[in-house]
């Protein structure tokens, strides 16, 4: 038997947001470091790990459904471990509810997933014998990650959140913000760039707050300057996700617009546009203030792209406040926007608030938001037809076409660009002429490398 075939194998299934994808990368790295080998399919693995999402009801249901499906698919004797946000938030409860699962493991603690939780056990154990606080992987933030497989990669610069948005449970289970040091982020970034990554996507629960917990507010701009130094090694783009709007000001904005590597893509976490409702959400801002921020950036960089997400049907939301949101969307002309019906999260202030909005009404409002936003997004894409764009080739799709993104599209979130060129490969940065917009996607012909 070869060494490879005698090694225990693992399979990691990731649900939820980009921050979870980084955690999964680090889980993979820790399992590889423990001597396990990656399996291509859950059915072949000795250890199946589900990295769950607990963001809203639908995400939790998807996490449970996926876990149950994988429980059915695994081979006899394989261990099934649930980790991620649901494990952190509902640990013991989840272990009780899912007897199919061998362990429910949060991300805090000592030891490693493979050695202390799953594979050292003499035989599979039921929920009744799962330790109440099973030991999990170490703090994932500082763990190494496997070699990159795409020309872009998420880099998590901090974990946790210091804010107290009324609808959000994240601070209750991810804790206060803990920022990594610039040195450790740069080291991870350098390794990724040396491994072929051209675009780094920086993520955190509250990215613009980076460094404040270490007594150094405003650290994001200097971090961007530090990462810009990797341009000589092949770093082409740095993209920022999740910017709390009150922090989108100079020197961060001027630094973003000045540095050649930082793309003018502003992922503003707005949630609503009505000032009274935002106060009820315990958040900063108003539609007018947001418009001021957006207008000022566009005045400096007309090609800047904007994304945001909004909660529809927050407790106490009135028709007039919903109208404020619709007016804001029409005025802001964001390139991309996502709308989510309010989801009541146990233990949050919003869960105790009176005047719940009927779910059907929230869905009706959501459709109205989409009806305003969709033509705006489409028009922004149509306007690009005939223009020259710069595309980072991400992959070759199943039809053999090259698929990539400009600065306007975040990976896995926004549209894509299909380009035609015989010579280009994933990782190449090419100039291309946009010939067509199909929904949110573009088709382009390469003009030069
Ligand atoms: S800033 Fe984001 S993660 Fe932090 S409490 Fe608000 S919604 Fe939650």
pLDDT of 81 over the 80 cut: yes
* Whole-number Å distance between alpha carbons of 249 and 141: 27
In the prediction, which pLDDT does 132 show? 38
Residue pLDDT, tens place only, 271-321: 999 999 999 999 999 999 999 999 999 999 999 999 999 999 999 999 999
C-alpha 208 to ligand 1 mean position (Å) = 12
For residue 19, count CB atoms less than 10 angstroms from its CB and return exposed for 0-12, middle for 13-18, buried for 19 or more: buried
pLDDT of 123 over the 50 cut: no
Higher pLDDT, 423 or 305: 305
Start-to-end Cα distance in the chain: 47
Residue pLDDT, tens place only, 376-421: 999 999 999 999 999 999 999 888 889 999 999 999 999 999 998 7
Q: Whose CA is nearest to atom 2 of ligand 1?
A: 205
- Ligand 1, CB cutoff 6 Å, lining residues: 161, 163, 165, 168, 170-171, 205-206, 244
Beta strands in 244-292 (DSSP E): 265-271
Average pLDDT of 320-337?
A: 98
pLDDT of 137 over the 50 cut: no
DSSP 289: H
Residue pLDDT, tens place only, 331-371: 999 999 999 999 999 899 999 999 999 999 999 999 999 99
In the prediction, which pLDDT does 20 show? 81
C-alpha 449 to ligand 1 mean position (Å) = 41
Q: Whose CA is nearest to atom 6 of ligand 1?
A: 165
Q: Which of 153-157, 204-208, 311-315, 445-449 has the lowest mean pLDDT?
A: 445-449
Q: Which of 172, 206, 248, 343 to mutate to test the pocket of ligand 1 (most atoms within 8 A of CB)?
A: 206
Average pLDDT of 99-120?
A: 64
Q: Are 28 and 38 in contact (CB under 8 A)?
A: yes
pLDDT of 122 over the 90 cut: no
pLDDT of 115 over the 60 cut: no
Ligand 1, atom nearest to 171 Cα: 5
* Whole-number Å distance between alpha carbons of 6 and 445: 48
DSSP 115: I
What is the pTM for the complete model shown?
Answer: 0.85
C-alpha 35 to ligand 1 mean position (Å) = 37
In the prediction, which pLDDT does 217 show? 92
C-alpha 257 to ligand 1 mean position (Å) = 25
* Whole-number Å distance between alpha carbons of 445 and 422: 11
Mean pLDDT value across the chain: 89
Average pLDDT of 78-96?
A: 86
Q: Which of 205, 270, 311 to mutate to test the pocket of ligand 1 (most atoms within 8 A of CB)?
A: 205
| Tokens 């909004």 sit on residue | 310
Report the percent of the chain where pLDDT is more than 70: 90
Two structure tokens written together for 418: 């299909």
Which distant-in-sequence residues (6+ apart) come within 8 Å of 41 by Cβ?
Answer: 11
List the helix and strand counts (H, then E) for the chain: 12, 18
In the prediction, which pLDDT does 188 show? 93
Q: Which of 19, 20, 55, 171 to mutate to test the pocket of ligand 1 (most atoms within 8 A of CB)?
A: 171
Helix (H, G, I), strand (E, B) or coil at 47: strand
* Whole-number Å distance between alpha carbons of 141 and 131: 25
Ligand 1, atom nearest to 162 Cα: 4
Omega prior to 251 cis, within 30 of 0: yes
C-alpha 206 to ligand 1 mean position (Å) = 7
* Whole-number Å distance between alpha carbons of 54 and 413: 19
Q: Are 136 and 107 in contact (CB under 8 A)?
A: yes
pLDDT of 449 over the 50 cut: yes
pLDDT band of residue 111 (cuts 50, 70, 90) is very low
pLDDT of 148 over the 90 cut: no
In the prediction, which pLDDT does 128 show? 36
In the prediction, which pLDDT does 18 show? 78
Average pLDDT of 36-57?
A: 90
Residue 120 CB: number of other CB atoms within 10 A?
Answer: 8
* Whole-number Å distance between alpha carbons of 237 and 422: 24
Q: Are 278 and 285 in contact (CB under 8 A)?
A: yes
Average pLDDT of 155-181?
A: 92
Ligand 1, atom nearest to 271 Cα: 7
- b/e for 49-79, b at 16 or more Cβ within 10 A? bbbbbbbbeebbebbbebbeebbebbeeebb
Q: Which of 89, 156, 160, 165 to mutate to test the pocket of ligand 1 (most atoms within 8 A of CB)?
A: 165
């Amino acid at each position: 038997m070869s060494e490879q075939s005698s090694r225990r194998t693992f399979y990691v299934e990731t649900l939820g947001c980009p921050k979870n994808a980084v955690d999964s990368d680090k889980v993979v790295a820790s399992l590889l470091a423990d001597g396990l080998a990656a399996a291509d399919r859950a059915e072949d693995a000795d250890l199946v790990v589900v990295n769950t999402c607990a963001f809203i009801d639908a995400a939790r249901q998807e996490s449970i459904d996926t876990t149950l499906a994988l429980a059915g698919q695994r081979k006899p004797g394989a261990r099934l471990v649930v980790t991620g946000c649901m494990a952190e938030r509902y640990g013991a409860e989840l272990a009780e509810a899912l007897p199919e699962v061998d362990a429910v493991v949060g991300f805090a603690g000592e030891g490693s997933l493979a050695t202390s939780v799953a594979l050292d056990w003499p035989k599979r154990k039921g929920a009744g014998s799962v330790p109440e606080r099973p030991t999990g992987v170490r703090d994932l933030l500082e763990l190494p990650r496997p070699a990159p497989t795409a020309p872009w990669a998420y880099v998590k610069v901090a974990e946790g959140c210091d804010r107290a948005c009324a609808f959000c449970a994240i601070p209750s289970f991810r804790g206060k913000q803990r920022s990594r040091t610039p040195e450790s982020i740069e080291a991870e970034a350098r390794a990724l760039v040396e491994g072929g990554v051209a675009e780094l996507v920086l993520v955190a629960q509250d990215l613009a707050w980076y460094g404040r917990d270490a007594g150094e507010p405003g650290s994001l701009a200097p971090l961007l300057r530090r990462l810009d130094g990797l341009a000589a090694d092949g770093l082409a783009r740095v993209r920022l996700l999740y910017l709390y709007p009150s922090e989108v000001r100079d020197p961060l904005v001027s630094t973003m617009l000045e540095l050649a590597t930082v793309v003018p893509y502003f992922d503003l976490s707005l949630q609503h546009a009505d000032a009274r409702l935002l106060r009820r959400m315990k958040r900063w801002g108003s539609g007018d203030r947001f418009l001021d921020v957006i207008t000022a950036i566009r005045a400096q960089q007309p090609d800047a792209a904007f994304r945001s997400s909004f909660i529809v049907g927050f407790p106490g939301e009135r028709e007039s406040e919903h109208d404020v949101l619709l007016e804001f969307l029409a005025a802001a002309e964001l390139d991309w926007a996502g709308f989510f019906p309010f989801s009541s999260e146990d233990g949050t202030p919003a869960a105790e608030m009176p005047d719940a909005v009927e779910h059907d009404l929230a869905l009706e409002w959501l459709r109205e938001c989409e009806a305003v936003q969709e033509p705006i997004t489409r028009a922004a894409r149509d306007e690009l037809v005939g223009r020259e764009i710069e595309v980072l080739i991400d992959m070759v799709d199943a039809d053999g076409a090259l698929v990539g993104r400009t600065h306007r599209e975040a990976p896995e979130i926004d549209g894509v660009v299909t380009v035609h060129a015989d010579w280009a490969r994933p990782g190449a940065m090419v100039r291309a002429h946009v010939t067509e917009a199909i929904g949110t996607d573009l088709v382009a012909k390469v003009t030069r490398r």
